[in-house]
Amino acid sequence: MTWLHRIRRSMASSWSMYRSDFRSLDKTQILLLFLLTVLAMFMLLPLVFIFNHAFKPLHELFLFPPTFFVQQATMQNFTDLLHATQDTFLPVTRFIFNSIMVTLLSTVGMVIFGALCAYPLSKHPFPGRKIVFGVILLSIMIAVETMGIPRYIVVKSLGIMNTYWGHVLPILALPVGVFLLKQFMDQVPNELLEAAKLDGASEWQIFMRIMIPIVTPAMATITILSFQTAWTNSETSALFMQDDAMKTLPFYVESLTSNLANTVARQGVAAAASLIIFVPNLMIFLLSQRKVIQTMAHSGIK
């Protein structure tokens, strides 16, 4: 049996199961399914628009009334994006490379430090634990702009200006991640950890071999949040990077149409760059969406 026949057989089997499940629904469930389908299609419209927008030629970007779908698709916007830095010594691939490096380091760091912070808050009742957790929750409400000057002073004092660490350290703390992981770890029975200690497991073995596998859905959710935070961040490039060779793609996208005498120039380039920034976020979310739902179901108040 060829791979094509296997795909057809699988699709036929899936369709048969779908028809069987659909016939078992009552009228209320069918109406609810229809409304959810319409809502899902409506929520997909921004995704369809951003993909179409990136492939529009310049004259379609400014049509009035505006068009939702591209009429004459072109790759010229992406070509212009690659050539936009010809008058400088830095190609756009340098900004993309910086974003990839910063995102990898930041994502790994935020997930590791979030788990290391959440574990003692959840399973070790040390004095002042509630106060520490309350301060972490309070930090979620603090506007990022208010911490610009303190962050600049700290980064400059550490001597990590114009380095990758200057990108990573200011965003390494993720209070939302600590909250989700702590709430998820609260669901793990303490008796399980006590049994592991009686069997001779060390604290590090309990954390790595018992706790981490159990909270994998929460770790996947934190990975998504960390990735989005790091991949779309332009603040560190604006505040801590004077060397253009160390700046990231989001900062470059923001600079494409800034300080221009009109709002027409480079709009196609900006549309193409926006799509490049958006696609990795979409792919990461699609690959981990089930884990996100599991996390939200287990991280609520008991």
DSSP 260: -
What is the rounded average pLDDT of the residues 210-233? 86
Residue ranges per domain, the chain?
Answer: 1-44, 92-298
Which overall architecture, per CATH, does domain 92-298 show? Orthogonal Bundle (1.10)
Residue 275 tokens, joined: 């799509």
DSSP 237: H
Report the mean per-residue pLDDT for the chain: 80
For residue 225, pLDDT over 90 is answered with no
Residue 295 pLDDT grade (very low, low, confident, very high; cuts 50, 70, 90): low
For the ranges 50-54, 79-83, 261-265, 289-293, the maximum mean pLDDT occurs at 50-54
The answer to whether 291 and 217 have CB atoms below 8 angstroms apart is yes
The answer to whether 293 and 221 have CB atoms below 8 angstroms apart is no
156, 158, 163, 166 alpha-carbon torsion, rounded to 10°: -70
Residue type at position 156: K
For residue 300, pLDDT over 60 is answered with no
Residue for token pair 């962050």: 151
Residue 296 pLDDT grade (very low, low, confident, very high; cuts 50, 70, 90): low
Q: What percent of the chain has pLDDT over 90?
A: 6
Residue 190 pLDDT grade (very low, low, confident, very high; cuts 50, 70, 90): confident
At 212 the three-state DSSP class reads: helix
For residue 213, pLDDT over 90 is answered with no
Measured over the CA atoms of residue 240, residue 242, residue 248 and residue 251, the dihedral's sign is positive
Task: Name, in order, each residue with C-beta under 8 angstroms of 68's C-beta and a sequence gap of 6 or more.
Answer: 45, 48, 49, 52
What is the rounded average pLDDT of the residues 224-229? 87
How far is the C-alpha of 95 from the C-alpha of 103, rounded, in Å? 12
Neighbours of 101 (CB within 10 A): 15
Phi, psi at 142, each rounded to 5°? -80, 130
Summarize pLDDT for 141-156 with one digit per residue, the tens. Answer: 887 778 888 888 888 8
What is the rounded average pLDDT of the residues 289-302? 57
The answer to whether 184 and 219 have CB atoms below 8 angstroms apart is no
How far is the C-alpha of 195 from the C-alpha of 171, rounded, in Å? 37
For residue 297, pLDDT over 60 is answered with no
Residue 193 tokens, joined: 């950890």
Task: Name, in order, each residue with C-beta under 8 angstroms of 102's C-beta and a sequence gap of 6 or more.
Answer: 164, 167, 168, 230, 233, 236, 248
